[in-house]
Structure 1
Amino acid sequence: MNSCNQAKKSCGCAGEKPDASQPTVSMPASGMTFKIEGLDCTEEVAILKSAIGSLVGGSDKLVFDILNGRMTLLPDAEPVTEKTIIKAVTLTGMKAARWQAGQAQADEKQLHRSKTVYTTLSGMFIIVGMLIHIAMAGGFTDAQTFLSHPENWSLHWAVITDYLTSLANAHAQQAMPLPEKIAFGLAVIFGARHVMVKAFYALKRLRADMNLLMMVAVIGAIFIDEWFEAATVSFLFSLSLAIESWSIGRARHAVEALLDLAPSTVTIKDESGQERRVPAAEVSIGSRFIVAPGDKIPLDGDVISGFSPVNQAPITGESMPVAKQVDDEVFAGSINGEGTLEIKSSKLASDTTLAHIIRLVGEAHSKRAEAEQWVEKFARIYTPAVMILALAVFIIPPLFLEGSWNEWFYRALVLLVIACPCALVISTPVSIVAALASAARQGILIKGGIYIEAPAHLNAIAFDKTGTLTAGDPIVTGIYPFNGHSEEELLSRAAALEARSNHPLAKAILQYTENRGIGIASADNVTILPGKGVTGLFNGADFWLGSRRYLLERSQEVPEISEKAIALEQTGQTVIAIGNDRHICGLIAVADQPRAQIKAILQSLREKGIKHLVMLTGDNRVTANNIAAQIGIDEVHAELLPADKVEIVSQMIEKYGQVAMIGDGVNDAPALGRANLGIAMGVLGSDAAIEIADIALMGDDLSKLPWLIGHSKRTLAIIRQNIIFALTIKAAFALLAFAGLATLWEAIAADTGASLVVVANGLRLLRPGNVSAK
């Protein structure tokens, strides 16, 4: 789609043709998002910041998403029309249009196709030029060498090298024939198609970037009659841009794969029982829909009929399916198992947990990591510095050392080509995007590149207790009947009194009773005593159930029972007493339990380099100390208010430097915000928790923490490898250029090869691997 059509689409209503009789109105652009054609790396970001920043009140009013080729103006940007933004972007050699999801994707595919076509044409005309050169230099007699000695690769290489050398030195031997120049000239034009416009605007703004650098090298090569090398530089640079575009697209597709998790249509069941297929986007909250065995669940909702195991791994990373029955919550993108489920939708398609994940992962790339920011600053200084150095290489030796102008001009061009920061600039964003996508597949939502680095630097972690270190759901840990009663009698009476209660302790008793196969009958005349307990009539007799404090109020405690209750409480268990007017029937002990494998998980964190593990809880000190002793926590702070947690996290930061806080994402919000890194637990279906945390563990699974720290260290290691490799290649070829041992086409081939290597190395992060970095 051309820029004119894009501008038309950016004004007016989507899907409507503008009325030719009415003037087109340019809407204010503040708060809008634009699709930028040609936005592939931080070089373009720097150009756009320079061009647009002054129009909107500063470059800090702009947010860039290289992954999706988007630029967003923040709501507090200075008022400016959409037309002004589009015009300013056009002056940089790029194109802008109002962002529309479907059209943007189509434009992106068209741009990628265009880059591929022009690169292919450039390569084809280089081959044509080489064939013309071979024909005019003595025909194809050497082809017999390939046919007669197909196994002699060293001979083949010698022949190829001779041809390339003769091409590179053609101007020194004789003038290049016109047909050969035309072929190589066309190769230059097609190869520089996506570079020359940006280079022109860079020159116009007196801003040295890699596009200008490449065009100077190409024009310089033509000026000294090095047509083959000019064509080769154009082709290989065009190829490197295509590789860059492909790599960004590869990482983008890894994120876009999330979109395929939820089907686009839903089988709705109306009030008459009839079923019909409708688009998911049209389903309202409260609608009933059917999910057949093996199908993906299209929307968030609650099961109203059926039973089936559901694979939630695409959303949470859980390895085992979770059994779902009536009243259980299910999530879009999870996969139904063996049974048919009827579900009542609880959210619109645009507001599901999956939709939030996709949106946040899509936005994450705009929150750039420190390594990305460093590379951008480095490239901003590096490119003009190299151009000045190349100018010095061209001028100083001929003026002061009696060198040849042609020879040193050629060496300066080689230096310009190898100094192109393509590999350096592309290495970091590709690695960061791949790392974000890989973490999302593991059920870890990282809300920006800036947060992918943080886990690698952590020295201490503060944990909330309930729901984080513990399961969050209390269970019955012991039954202690007295005065001749049995455990079954004790549980029957307790369950009858608690049958209608939703209190966590009541649920624990009811669940335990059901698991024992004991029938539950509701008591009559049940009366709740706030803060104390409950009374009721069971099998014609009055019974009461309550805390030990209520037991003391009734003055029914005896030494034997008192000693047992005190002993249980000292181990962190909550004691519930059941009795009647005559005596105490017995005690039930209930306690929240540590998460499965939590001790091993904490040990793994220590092996990853975490020096100190702290528990923060509002629970009583006895319970907190008991849990800490079981799992191996280094330090315990109990009976805390939210403000107290913030103060302790602040003290930890002063002592240990980099500190993470892990909690439920809502009650612990102040402490999550104060820590260097906030990690939310138990956030599946909780939009607030997803929004609050820097990182969210979607599957409520602490075992992902050691993987996250290892993944962060692996990401930083790969970024360092890429930067060191790119700079080493450039330094080596810079020395070869000074010595006159490197040619233009060798330099650009090395730079393109370096780009391929760093891209491939960065994309390794898409594989979760068996991370063992410490």
Structure 2
Amino acid sequence: MDINLRKLYELSGLDSESFSMDIEEKVSKLPYVKSVVVNHITSRAIVELISETANEKVFREISTIISNINKDILLKEIERNEPVEDVLPNNNSVEKEEIELHTSERDYHTVYQEQYLNKRRIIQLLLGTALGICGIFVESNLNIIIYIFSFLLTGEVILINSFKSFIKLKFFNQDVLIYLISIITFILGKYMDSILVLSIYQLLTYIKNYSVNEYKNRIMGIESIRCDTLNIRDNKGGILKTHWSNIRVNDVIIIKPGEEIPTDGIVIRGASLIDTSYITGESILIRVKERDEVSSGTINKTGILEIKATRLPEQSTASKVIETLKKSSNEKSSTEQFITKFSKTFAMGIGLIALILIALFPSIVGGTYIQWLYRGLTFLVLCTPWSLIISIPIVSLKGIEECFNNGILIKSKNVLEILNKTEVVAFDKAGTLTEGSYHVRKIVSKGFITEDMLLEYAAYAEFYSNHAIAKSIITSFKEISSTKVIDKSRIKSFEEIPGKGVKIYFGDRYIYAGNHKLMDQYEINYDCPNEVGTIIYLAINQNFVGYIIISDKVKETSPKAISDLKSAGVKTVIMVTGDNKKISDYVGIVLNIDEVYSELSIEEKASLIESLQTRSRHNSEIIFVNDGLLNDFILDKHYISTELNGVKSDLATNNSDILIMSDDPSKIAVAIKISKWVQGNIAKTIVLSVGIKILLLAIAGLGLASMWLTLSIEALLTFICVFSNTKTKNFSQL
């Protein structure tokens, strides 16, 4: 989608699902808005526009809507259409640094103030509740005064919020509802009920805010991998200290042991071990030396490195990982959207039942009006499904976080949600199940030319090809040849035949290099060796002159990957490849793959994947693991595209749904297991929450439990759901 049509905002002070729904409803009615998603868990809003509209107008009108709903919610745009370099001139690096410093100071004071207020409110809440309990043991003439003080002390925050809502004529607000119920309950003489309802309601709010803030802190804490200042070399070879955001492409950065690499680059001096666990999820040290590429977010462990920056910090791997993680966290999954609508409908339904209890049941069933008023008020207290509203978004965010901790980048909550339905996993062999690093294993010459000459002809033939096999032949030629140089002026013409090979006009002759299909197309007689490997046949002027055997090694983790997929519930594992049938069948047998399709061109692979989509069972999913190129050939995409070695991918343009940051295919099964855990917890939470809620409503309707007791059980249920949904598990060992 065009970035000009997408706005991302932070809503400071947003802590209520009801406010989120109100904002969504009203902003969506703006004529230029296509869709809007407001997430109260992350305090973010994503607004998609129908057409380009001035930033100021969009911001002003959305701010007005939010201000009318709640003046305490502040809107801030956190994603701009224009790059930072266009907003601030390049020579204003000091100003940029000062702005970031002041922003950090403001954020620090805001957080400190919030922590202080939270502590004050908790102490006030405990004192108010304790004072109310003391009132039970005091003589009746004095206890009413104690109860009034307790009520005011306990409900101060809700009273202030309710008063603000009344001023803005916002009567249908949860704070207003709870405070009115508490006042009526207090008037009815149920003093402790009213006090405990206020206390428990604020406890539920605290549980929600604590859970949300814990997640926010973990997500925002990811950015702490960046060191504030670092050393770079100036033009004279001296060393300067600068802020990480001032790094430019081609700057030489000095990284000491224990420091993080701030941006992507190439090692130009030094050797060291680096820890890639932040990016790949694997605590493995990798040795790097001169001319090796390194990614931001990795940590230098031993020697001093000098790195030439190849990307700006904001365009680096770590920055794009953080950006992708935040975007996936901000959106709502289809389950969350359902829970939001369900909660609204549920609350309205229970509210209607409460009114019926109060208005009609005294005359129909019998009993005093006071009794049914109390029961109706208890229904109203229970009308919000707290455990669903709080724990369902939390478990989805936990799933995204667990994937990230395992080196898996999920680009959408909906992808995480449907992963558990996966029944078919298809691999494009090279680089997924095998190393993808081809090498020349054997050269067989037939006729009048030597093996070295055969390799040279093959290198010239493959010079303009981008295929990994072609590159392996050229690399082998440069290693073996005495000249190590290819004179491309000798290549008069080049033609690539998709799925078959290449044909060049070289000097005064035609050279053909490719698989047996190429030989068959030009009616060239050739020998077919009985060996395992990728065979590249060569012919000169349609005369067969020999062949080269190319090998690719199966990854050590591939057998475990296939086994783990089967244990995760995947019914069929498929491998597609352009390699010959013999080597493909061999790999299929070694890895216990169900279906193998070999000797396919890119177009044939795309057609096969499309056919898999049509034959798959309803309500089941297909994962296709490839290098990302095939996704462009499949127009009607109904599968979950997955790419390995995402650390080397350009995350800004990558169109895969899932990125495995390492080259380990067994991570796919980990992602499926996390998805099953998320969906299992969501299902258990829904069943448990709805079941206990119905039971509590039935007990309250029969007058068998007090208001504070039913709300206490609700709070306990919410705490249990949140706690069970945030427990960390080792999914790679399951």
> Could you say if the C-alpha distance between residues 574 and 353 of structure 1 is closer, same or farther in structure 2, counting changes exceeding 3 Å?
same
Q: Distance in 2 between matches of 1:549 and 1:231?
A: 82
Checking the alignment, whether the CA contact within 8 Å between 2:278 and 2:298 is kept in structure 1 is yes
In the TM superposition, 1:353-364 aligns within 5 A as: 353-364=317-328
1:651 aligns with: 611
Checking the alignment, whether the CA contact within 8 Å between 1:222 and 1:230 is kept in structure 2 is yes
Q: Does 1:53 align with 2:28?
A: yes
Checking the alignment, whether the CA contact within 8 Å between 2:673 and 2:731 is kept in structure 1 is no
Deviates more, 1:191-200 or 1:382-391: 191-200
Read off the aligned partner of 2:426 and give its amino acid letter.
Answer: A
> Could you say if the C-alpha distance between residues 589 and 55 of structure 1 is closer, same or farther in structure 2, counting changes exceeding 3 Å?
closer
Which of 513, 518, 535 is the equivalent residue of 1:574? 535
Read off the aligned partner of 1:522 and give its amino acid letter.
Answer: T
TM value normalised by structure 1 = 0.77
Q: Is the partner of 1:55 in helix, strand or coil?
A: coil
1:171 aligns with: none
Shift, 1:693, TM fit: 1.3
Shift, 1:440, TM fit: 0.8
- For residues 392-436 of structure 1, the C-alpha deviation after alignment (integer angstroms, 9 at most, x for no partner) is 222333222331122222222222223431112111100011110
Q: Does 1:683 align with 2:658?
A: no
- For residues 267-295 of structure 1, the C-alpha deviation after alignment (integer angstroms, 9 at most, x for no partner) is 10123221122111001111001112232
Shift, 1:346, TM fit: 0.9
Read off the aligned partner of 1:655 and give its amino acid letter.
Answer: R
Q: Distance in 1 between matches of 2:345 and 2:733?
A: 36
Checking the alignment, whether the CA contact within 8 Å between 2:20 and 2:39 is kept in structure 1 is no
2:566 aligns with: 606
Q: Distance in 2 between matches of 1:361 and 1:197?
A: 38
> Could you say if the C-alpha distance between residues 31 and 506 of structure 1 is closer, same or farther in structure 2, counting changes exceeding 3 Å?
closer
In the TM superposition, 1:22-171 aligns within 5 A as: 32-40=7-15, 42-56=17-31, 60-76=34-50, 80=57, 82-93=59-70, 94-99=72-77, 107=110, 110-111=113-114, 113-134=116-137, 136-137=138-139
Aligned-residue RMSD, C-alpha: 4.0
1:755 aligns with: 718
Which of 346, 368, 386 is the equivalent residue of 2:310? 346
Read off the aligned partner of 2:688 and give its amino acid letter.
Answer: F
Q: Does 1:522 align with 2:497?
A: no
Q: Distance in 1 between matches of 2:415 and 2:328?
A: 9
Q: Distance in 1 between matches of 2:484 and 2:296?
A: 41
Q: Distance in 2 between matches of 1:620 and 1:336?
A: 43
Shift, 1:238, TM fit: 1.1
1:13 aligns with: none
Q: Is the partner of 2:38 in helix, strand or coil?
A: strand
Q: Distance in 1 between matches of 2:335 and 2:733?
A: 21
> Could you say if the C-alpha distance between residues 407 and 641 of structure 1 is closer, same or farther in structure 2, counting changes exceeding 3 Å?
same
The size of the alignment, in residue pairs, is 676
What percent of counterpart residues are identical? 21
Deviates more, 1:391-400 or 1:422-431: 391-400
1:592 aligns with: 552
- For residues 424-454 of structure 1, the C-alpha deviation after alignment (integer angstroms, 9 at most, x for no partner) is 2111100011110111111101112111112
> Could you say if the C-alpha distance between residues 525 and 415 of structure 1 is closer, same or farther in structure 2, counting changes exceeding 3 Å?
closer
Q: Distance in 2 between matches of 1:523 and 1:406?
A: 98
- For residues 544-580 of structure 1, the C-alpha deviation after alignment (integer angstroms, 9 at most, x for no partner) is x995899x99xxxxx9xx75x6223xx342357899x
> Could you say if the C-alpha distance between residues 313 and 706 of structure 1 is closer, same or farther in structure 2, counting changes exceeding 3 Å?
same
Q: Does 1:634 align with 2:609?
A: no
Shift, 1:751, TM fit: 1.6
> Could you say if the C-alpha distance between residues 549 and 76 of structure 1 is closer, same or farther in structure 2, counting changes exceeding 3 Å?
closer
Q: Distance in 2 between matches of 1:296 and 1:661?
A: 34
2:497 aligns with: none
Checking the alignment, whether the CA contact within 8 Å between 1:430 and 1:759 is kept in structure 2 is yes
Checking the alignment, whether the CA contact within 8 Å between 1:642 and 1:671 is kept in structure 2 is no
Checking the alignment, whether the CA contact within 8 Å between 1:661 and 1:679 is kept in structure 2 is yes
Q: Is the partner of 1:590 in helix, strand or coil?
A: strand
1:705 aligns with: 668
Deviates more, 1:413-422 or 1:447-456: 413-422
Q: Distance in 1 between matches of 2:153 and 2:702?
A: 29
Shift, 1:339, TM fit: 2.0
Read off the aligned partner of 2:37 and give its amino acid letter.
Answer: V
Deviates more, 1:366-375 or 1:79-88: 79-88
Read off the aligned partner of 2:569 and give its amino acid letter.
Answer: G
Which of 416, 423, 436 is the equivalent residue of 2:380? 416
2:499 aligns with: none
Deviates more, 1:78-87 or 1:376-385: 78-87
Q: Distance in 2 between matches of 1:30 and 1:625?
A: 48
TM value normalised by structure 2 = 0.81
Shift, 1:481, TM fit: 8.9
Shift, 1:243, TM fit: 1.3
2:679 aligns with: 716
Read off the aligned partner of 2:35 and give its amino acid letter.
Answer: K
1:665 aligns with: 628
1:296 aligns with: 260
> Could you say if the C-alpha distance between residues 415 and 502 of structure 1 is closer, same or farther in structure 2, counting changes exceeding 3 Å?
same
Checking the alignment, whether the CA contact within 8 Å between 1:690 and 1:696 is kept in structure 2 is no
Q: Distance in 1 between matches of 2:413 and 2:515?
A: 52
Checking the alignment, whether the CA contact within 8 Å between 2:208 and 2:390 is kept in structure 1 is yes
Checking the alignment, whether the CA contact within 8 Å between 2:515 and 2:537 is kept in structure 1 is no
In the TM superposition, 1:273-672 aligns within 5 A as: 273-478=237-442, 504=468, 508=472, 521-522=482-483, 531=502, 566-568=529-531, 571-575=532-536, 589-619=549-579, 621=581, 624-640=584-600, 642-656=602-616, 657=618, 658-671=621-634
**Is there any run of 5+ residues in structure 1 with no aligned partner, and where?**
1-28, 138-173, 537-544, 554-558
1:541 aligns with: none
1:695 aligns with: 658
Shift, 1:332, TM fit: 0.8
Shift, 1:587, TM fit: 6.7
Q: Distance in 1 between matches of 2:635 and 2:459?
A: 36
Read off the aligned partner of 1:82 and give its amino acid letter.
Answer: F
Q: Distance in 2 between matches of 1:524 and 1:366?
A: 53
1:272 aligns with: 236
> Could you say if the C-alpha distance between residues 255 and 738 of structure 1 is closer, same or farther in structure 2, counting changes exceeding 3 Å?
same
**Is there any run of 5+ residues in structure 2 with no aligned partner, and where?**
79-102, 495-501, 520-524
> Could you say if the C-alpha distance between residues 727 and 212 of structure 1 is closer, same or farther in structure 2, counting changes exceeding 3 Å?
farther
> Could you say if the C-alpha distance between residues 510 and 669 of structure 1 is closer, same or farther in structure 2, counting changes exceeding 3 Å?
closer
Checking the alignment, whether the CA contact within 8 Å between 2:226 and 2:244 is kept in structure 1 is no
Shift, 1:67, TM fit: 3.8
Shift, 1:356, TM fit: 0.7
1:163 aligns with: none
Shift, 1:336, TM fit: 1.5
Q: Distance in 1 between matches of 2:419 and 2:163?
A: 42
Shift, 1:247, TM fit: 0.3
Read off the aligned partner of 2:132 and give its amino acid letter.
Answer: G
Read off the aligned partner of 1:87 and give its amino acid letter.
Answer: T
Structure with greater Cα Rg: 1
> Could you say if the C-alpha distance between residues 668 and 327 of structure 1 is closer, same or farther in structure 2, counting changes exceeding 3 Å?
farther
1:186 aligns with: 152
Checking the alignment, whether the CA contact within 8 Å between 1:665 and 1:688 is kept in structure 2 is no
Read off the aligned partner of 1:123 and give its amino acid letter.
Answer: L
Shift, 1:493, TM fit: 10
Deviates more, 1:77-86 or 1:676-685: 77-86
Checking the alignment, whether the CA contact within 8 Å between 1:420 and 1:751 is kept in structure 2 is no
Shift, 1:679, TM fit: 1.3
Q: Distance in 2 between matches of 1:394 and 1:116?
A: 38
